[in-house]
Amino acid sequence: SIPLGFFAGLGRAAREGILIKGGNYLEALNFPEIVVFDKTGTLTKGVYEVTEVKTKNGFSPQKLLEFAALAEGFSNHPVALSLKKAYGKEIEGQKIERFEEIPGYGVKALVNGLELLVGNEKLLKKNNIDFYETENEEGITKVHVAVNGVYAGSIVISDEIREDSALTIKSLKEMGIKNIVMLTGDKPSAAAHISRILGIEEYYPELLPHQKVEKVEQLIKQKTKKGKLIFMGDGTNDAPVLMRSDIGISMGRLGSDAAIEASDVVLMEDKPYNLVKAIKIARITRKIVI
């Protein structure tokens, strides 16, 4: 049976918008040994602003944005939502004949008879599109667009770090947690930029969703028996990692139903700092119960 104090702890957490799916997870939050963060949408806002549009082969900037928004029609990825927002207009009369989302790459769609590719350099290479590789600028993400096999240009977007991300990392370190890790599907330059600002020494870029799972499995093997691995994500393509972690935490706003289902803790607000609060509540609860 669960001691009464745990119910008080769960209730207290719930009032802070931290939904913990049982006393065992609240208890487990007392032993954080490795904390793994997803980057986009978790430590960053995942709401990119378009800062530059560069066209090639005679396409206009407006057309480029329109193609990007059309192709992303069915995607809920932070990059997709940002492109649709930047396009601004309602998308009308489009005939999406085919749509494929390729996690870690982008999307491929057949819209109004046009074969559209929207995603990163890896997506272009995979589809043998001719384009010039450009220098890696720190802190930005480039979305490339190709139409019927022809490179049409790139859209530069940049993401912002969440207000409470730095404080979250600092507080976790002060709590004595030595292993703080960041995983991302983004490029090494983007990952280096964010981790340097936040003081995360260990990070792994360019991971596909299944490679994030493998990384978490490797990290779990490295920890002590008593210690727990906590994973925190925004819920986009995160369900497999959430399930593998000792304590899987997702932020509810962007999260899919699958991610919420796979999580042990759901944060109602998109605030990473609520992890620190959850650990504090776990500690207070333990003092009362034991």
Which of 38, 246, 264, 270 is catalytic? The answer is 38
Q: Which is nearer to ligand ADP, 105 or 273 (CB)?
A: 105
**Which partner in ligand ADP, Mg ion, none is near 77 (CB below 5 to 8 A by kind)?**
ligand ADP
In the chain, where do the E strands start and end?
18-20, 32-38, 49-55, 96-102, 106-111, 114-119, 141-147, 150-158, 179-183, 202-204, 228-233, 247-251, 265-267
Q: Which is nearer to Mg ion, 154 or 236 (CB)?
A: 236
Q: Contact at 8 Å (CB) between 43 and 182?
A: yes
Q: Please give the residue ranges that form the binding site for Mg ion (CB under 5 A).
A: 38, 40-41, 236
* Nearer residue to Mg ion within complex by CB, 195 or 236: 236
Residue of minimal Cβ distance to ligand ADP:
185
Q: Tell me if residue 38 is catalytic.
A: yes
Nearest to 124 by CA among 95, 157, 154: 154
Name the residues that contact ligand ADP, by CB under 6 A: 38-41, 72, 75, 77, 79-80, 101, 104-107, 118-120, 141, 143, 184-186, 236-237
Closer CB to ligand ADP, 6 or 67, in the complex: 67
What six digits make up the tokens of 200? 């995360």
- Could you say which DSSP state residue 281 is in? H
Whether 205 contacts 184, CB under 8 Å: yes
Q: Which two tokens stand for residue 139?
A: 């802190």
Output the smallest distance, CB 8 to Mg ion, in A: 34
Cite the active site residues: 38
